[in-house]
Amino acid sequence: MRVIVCETYEELSVTAAKMVASQLLLKPDSVLGLATGSTPEGMYAELARMYERGEVDFSEATTFNLDEYYPISPDNDQSYHYFMQKHLFERVNLRPGHIHLPNGAAADVKAECAHYDQMIEDAGGIDLQILGIGHNGHIGFNEPAGELNDCTHLTSLTEDTIQSNARFFANEEEVPRQAITVGMATILTARKIILLVSGRNKSEPLRRLLTGKISTAVPATMLNLHRDTVIITDRAANDGR
C-alpha cells in the first residue's frame, strides 16, 4: 500500500484532485466511487476549480456514492445528496443521469440496495473509489462489527459515528440512526482506491490499517486485501500514528 504524506490538508486535497483528473484523462468514461464527509471537501473544491480552468472533464464519467442516511429525503440539507450537489455535482459537468446515490427515501430498502448493486455491476464496477475513514475505522458506513455485509445494505450507526456526525446537525438527536451503505466486497472490487486521511484524530485508525492485520473490528484494515490502494494523508494524521 502506497502512503503519500502531504504537509497540509490543502496539499492532500490538490494531490487527490489531480489523481481524479488523471483517471478521467486516461479513461474519460470512468466509474467513480465517491465519499462525503469533511475530508473530501477540499478535493471537491479543487476539482471544481480545475473544471473552471478546463483541466478536468466529467462529461463521460459515472459516479456512485458510498452511502446515504436512512430515512432522509434527498432535498434535506443534511442528506448526502444535498452535500454532493453543493460540493461537486452543481459545479462540474457531470451528466445528471450518470450520478447515483443510495435513495434514503426508498420505501423498500432491500430492493433499493439490490438495485444499487445491480447498477454498479451494470456500469462495469468502480474504476476509482475515493474513501474517507471514521475515527472508529469505518469505511462508508461499514461500522466495526464481528461480521460485515458484502454488498449494499441498511446498517445501524454506532454511537461513536452518531456523536462524530452530530457536528453537521442541529443536535445529536437529529442524526439519523441508520444508513444505506455500499458493502466492503463492492469497495474491494474497485480497480483503484484512494483513501484520504486527515487530522490528528485519524492517526489511530491509520496506525491500525498500516499494521497490516485485518479485522472486521476496524473495517479499514480490510483495505490490506486490496492490490491498488493509495493512502493520501496529511502530516497531522501521519505523525500521530
| Residue whose CB is less far from ligand F6R, 134 or 183 | 134
Name the active-site residue from 65, 103, 136, 238: 136
Question: What is the rounded distance in angstroms from the CA atom of residue 206 to the CA atom of residue 139?
Answer: 12
Strand partners, 62: 31
Contact 24, 62 (CB under 8 A): no
Is 135 a known active-site residue? no
Q: Nearest Cα to 31, choosing from 189, 160, 166? A: 189
Catalytic residue flag (residue 143): yes
Residue with cell string 445501524 = 156
CA-to-CA dists, residue 71 to 4, 121, 230, 234, angstroms: 37, 25, 33, 34
The closest residue (CB) to ligand F6R is 132
Number of residues in contact with ligand F6R under rule CB under 6 A:
13
Q: What does the angle CA 51 – CA 237 – CA 206 come to, to the nearest 5 degrees?
A: 100
- Our finding on whether 61 is near ligand F6R (CB under 6 A) is no
- For the question of residue 138 being annotated catalytic, the response is yes
Strands 178-181 and 153-156 turn out to be antiparallel
39: contact with ligand F6R by CB under 6 A: yes
Q: Which of 67, 68, 112, 234 is flagged as catalytic?
A: 67
Of residues 6, 79, 99, 138, which one binds ligand F6R by CB under 6 A? 138
Nearest to ligand F6R of 109, 197 (CB atom): 197
Shortest spacing between CB 54 and ligand F6R, in angstroms: 28
Binder of ligand F6R out of 46, 67, 117, 127 (CB under 6 A): 67
Binding site for ligand F6R (CB under 6 A): 35-39, 66-67, 132-134, 138-140
